[in-house]
Copies of this chain bind each other. A is one copy, B any other.
């Protein structure tokens, strides 16, 4: 699943480390997410949408397999 985490994070001028701290996840989780290594849990997706002030759909692009 594609996502715009990196773009949204940089738009806020944050480092992966700062973002992970705010969301209470590890930095590796953010790095892997941005790299598309895995999909986020729905709770992490909600946390991101809240911080980025947009909908989940605006951050994550779902394409059926």
Residues of A within 8 A of B (CB): 1, 39-43, 45-47, 50, 55-57, 60, 62, 64
Contacts and interface: CB of A to CB of B under 8 A. Distances in A.
Contacts of A56: 42, 45, 55-57
Which of A1, A39, A40, A43 has the most chain B CB atoms closer than 10 A to its own CB? A43
A36 to B, nearest CB: 13
Contacts of A1: 42-43
A43 B62 contact: yes
Nearest to A61: B46
26 contacts: A1-B42, A1-B43, A39-B41, A39-B42, A39-B43, A40-B42, A41-B41, A41-B42, A42-B42, A42-B45, A42-B56, A42-B60, A42-B62, A43-B62, A45-B45, A45-B56, A46-B60, A46-B62, A47-B64, A50-B62, A50-B64, A55-B55, A55-B56, A55-B57, A56-B56, A56-B57
